[in-house]
Amino acid sequence: MSSTQHPDNDLTINPSGNESIRDVMDRFTGRRNFLKGSLATATFASLGGFSLESLANGAYVGSPAPTGGIGFTGVPANIFPMTDGITVPSGYTAKTFIAWGDAIGKAGPDAMTHWDPSTAMTEARQLTTWGSHNDGMHLFPFPAVGASGLSNDRGLLVSNHEYVDPGLVVNSMTYGTDVITKPMVDAQVAGHGVSVIEVRKISGEMKVQRPSAFARRITGATPCAISGPAAGHPLMKTAADPSGKNVLGTLNNCAHGYTPWGTYLTCEENFNGYFGTTAAKLAAQPLNSLEARYGMAAGGFGYRWHEADPRFDFRDNPNEPNRFGWIVEIDPFNPNSKPVKRTALGRFKHESVIASVGTDNTVAFYSGDDERNDYMYKFVCAKKLNTKNRAANRDLLDSGTLYVAKFNADGSGQWLPLVWNQNGLTAANGFADQAEVLIKTRQAADRVGATMMDRPEWVAVHPTTREVYLTLTNNNRRGTNTASSNNPNGTTTAGSARPPVDAANPRRDNRYGHIIRWNEANGDVAATSFQWDIFVECGDSLNAAPNLQGNIIGDDLGAPDGLWFDKDGRLWIQTDQVGNATGDFANIGGNAMFCADPATRQITRFLTSPRNCEVTGVVSTPDGKTMFVNIQHPGEDWSGSYTSNSTWPDSGFNGPTTQSTNGAIKPRSATVVITKDDGGVIGT
């Protein structure tokens, strides 16, 4: 039996809540022009019914209907006991593309060698294969051959691997009581991080290119640099790294982002769960305020890595957790590049980091902190994007201003700067310098009076209007004074007040979540004020309780998480409910992906998923005709019986069978590729 728990659910125990590189670089100009065309050519005020006048009149104006429309017939909900597979609309085809343990095509003798999931995963095998529990994902297209623009046939697909289920990795259903060894830890650490694969369309079908000089695994043990204001700070130094500028690996890489200069951004979310210590050590040295605010606990999430590797014992190495919770920048086109943790963007449980480029080439990044009653952030780069010279943008993420959002009841909002010596962020209040403001971002945001949100997950920015959408997945700790509290302004005292509802988070028992959206003042990505609107309150329209019905036009959904605008302005919504079509989700069915029209708010179910999984991560080729979707943790069951829930994708579905059938077939996280049978744009 595994004692670990899915890091994104309400049961978690955290208390707060080869070509040369020159060739690739030379193409940058082409790529940049594409992005500039899609993001910046149209002026904000002239698009989609937006008008500065109407904003001044107080009416919120959302983005226009998608170009090309939404034309598919929605699929039915996957109701309990659920089909153990993928369903997409008539006229579409979904196939497994790559799954946990499948070769990524790293050049060498293992280029084509898949792992046999009926065995335990090893570190060595994991270093040449697709990681565990794929989450956020982006496709970096190559330039088109013989034409201008970007290729729809070749690119680098980069995916996060959020976490592992230890029992599946070590092939034991008694992980919670097993003796933990270093090889068991190393195999799990290697399952985390990021995979880079080259994808190519051959004979009309998208395939993993094996071997490929670009294929790469970045794991929880890959050497990474630390840059920005917190690099080298005493709180970032450890015995193994007296410089405070180098760290091994990236962990809990949930949703993602990418930069306008063509690098990948991965977000470290529930990093606290990997660290633990003994009860005796914790009794001798109780949690300090920083550790408490970030949810450190002796047992972590049950991974027990600290029992075999002192790096993960936060009493042996008290600063090691401070080196996680950051945004990490990776250059997918340079397989030898060192990932860089960009501390200027703050330290919290980052869930996606999405860029918005202004008409003057100012770049802003939106990133939420996925914890009940935590905050929404924006980082504005100090320097402007250089559209001619990719290398000039190399350290753009090292200087700028980090803001946290305050949503006012009248539909306005402010971005509050988290700048040392402003708004009480002073040495007297525990912030000796800007590095401490960033290492303690949550506490800084507590102090300036930001709005506690219902678990910020993904952000999506409209491709032409720059309107920002944010999923708030759920919150069961708001609006009552009667029970233990997770994080009302940073306290974790049992019996203390939970925050009340507010205009931006209007439901006391928000089981189904909502999606909020905003426009920056004057369309300026660097603005310090904005206007906001709730796009939809999710819910079960058949529920007897009005508070739980939501106001969806179209198909019911709950627990919105993944969010992405395609090139035409269709808003794709992915869900991550706990309960697997039971309880509150008996009517809504299992997790799914929906397509929404920002103008009409119509929401239509596009894809349903296997049992006990989450749908997370979506991207398409530039033409919108080939879509990749990530399916994470099929069959997951914290009581340990994964295989009785799901054997997807290796049976009952049209995926490749790479595992032997001499035992129970393990379910595996996998990426699915979707095409329209008539060759059209997905969603039309």
Q: CB nearer to ligand FEO: give 17 or 66.
A: 17
Q: How far apart are CA 81 and CA 652, in angstroms?
A: 15
Q: How far apart are CA 512 and CA 476, in angstroms?
A: 10
Q: CB nearer to Ca ion: give 180 or 472.
A: 472
* Residue 269 binding partner per list ligand FEO, Ca ion, none, with a CB distance cut-off of 5 to 8 Å that depends on partner kind: ligand FEO
* Residue 198 binding partner per list Ca ion, ligand FEO, none, with a CB distance cut-off of 5 to 8 Å that depends on partner kind: none
Q: How far is the CB of 617 from ligand FEO (least distance, A)?
A: 11
* Residue 162 binding partner per list ligand FEO, Ca ion, none, with a CB distance cut-off of 5 to 8 Å that depends on partner kind: ligand FEO
Q: CB nearer to ligand FEO: give 291 or 370.
A: 370
The three-class DSSP label of residue 552 is coil
The three-class DSSP label of residue 368 is strand
Which residue in the set 370, 520, 556, 584 belongs to the binding site for ligand FEO (CB under 6 A)? 370
Q: How far apart are CA 185 and CA 188, in angstroms?
A: 5
337: DSSP letter: P
Is 561 one of the binding residues for Ca ion (CB under 5 A)? yes
What are 501's two structure tokens? Answer: 């509802």
Is 374 one of the binding residues for ligand FEO (CB under 6 A)? no
Which residue in the set 320, 331, 351, 597 belongs to the binding site for ligand FEO (CB under 6 A)? 351
Q: CB nearer to ligand FEO: give 269 or 555.
A: 269
Is 454 one of the binding residues for Ca ion (CB under 5 A)? no
Is 467 one of the binding residues for Ca ion (CB under 5 A)? no
The three-class DSSP label of residue 307 is helix
The window from 243-251, 253-261, 512-520, 525-533 that contacts Ca ion (CB under 5 A) reads 253-261
Is 576 one of the binding residues for Ca ion (CB under 5 A)? yes
What are 457's two structure tokens? Answer: 């997950």
Q: CB nearer to ligand FEO: give 351 or 540.
A: 351
User: Are 288 and 298 within 8 A, CB to CB?
Assistant: no
Q: How far apart are CA 271 and CA 323, in angstroms?
A: 10
Q: How far apart are CA 70 and CA 666, in angstroms?
A: 36
Q: How far is the CB of 162 from ligand FEO (least distance, A)?
A: 6
Q: How far apart are CA 290 and CA 292, in angstroms?
A: 5
Q: How far is the CB of 136 from ligand FEO (least distance, A)?
A: 9
By CB under 6 A, what part of segment 549-588 binds ligand FEO? Answer: 561
CA distances from 619 to 160, 257, 503 (A): 13, 11, 32
Note the Cα 333 to chain centre separation in Å.
21
Radius of gyration of the chain (CA): 23
Q: How far is the CB of 435 from ligand FEO (least distance, A)?
A: 26
Q: How far apart are CA 271 and CA 255, in angstroms?
A: 13
Mark 247-266 with x for binding to ligand FEO (rule: CB under 6 A) and - for no binding. Answer: -------x------------
Size of the site for ligand FEO (CB under 6 A): 8
Which residue in the set 309, 457, 467, 650 belongs to the binding site for ligand FEO (CB under 6 A)? 457
* Residue 385 binding partner per list ligand FEO, Ca ion, none, with a CB distance cut-off of 5 to 8 Å that depends on partner kind: none
Which candidate, 150, 119, 18, places its Cα nearest to that of 622? 150
User: Are 329 and 342 within 8 A, CB to CB?
Assistant: yes
Q: How far apart are CA 2 and CA 309, in angstroms?
A: 19
Q: How far is the CB of 575 from Ca ion (least distance, A)?
A: 9
Is 618 one of the binding residues for ligand FEO (CB under 6 A)? no
Q: CB nearer to Ca ion: give 558 or 655.
A: 558
Report the number of secondary-structure helices (H) and strands (E) in the chain.
11, 31
Is 8 one of the binding residues for Ca ion (CB under 5 A)? yes
Which residue in the set 84, 123, 198, 269 belongs to the binding site for ligand FEO (CB under 6 A)? 269
User: Are 277 and 310 within 8 A, CB to CB?
Assistant: no
By CB under 6 A, what part of segment 1-30 binds ligand FEO? Answer: 8
Is 162 one of the binding residues for ligand FEO (CB under 6 A)? yes
Virtual torsion, Cα 145, 150, 151, 154, nearest 10 deg: 110
List residues binding ligand FEO (CB under 6 A): 8, 162, 254, 269, 351, 370, 457, 561
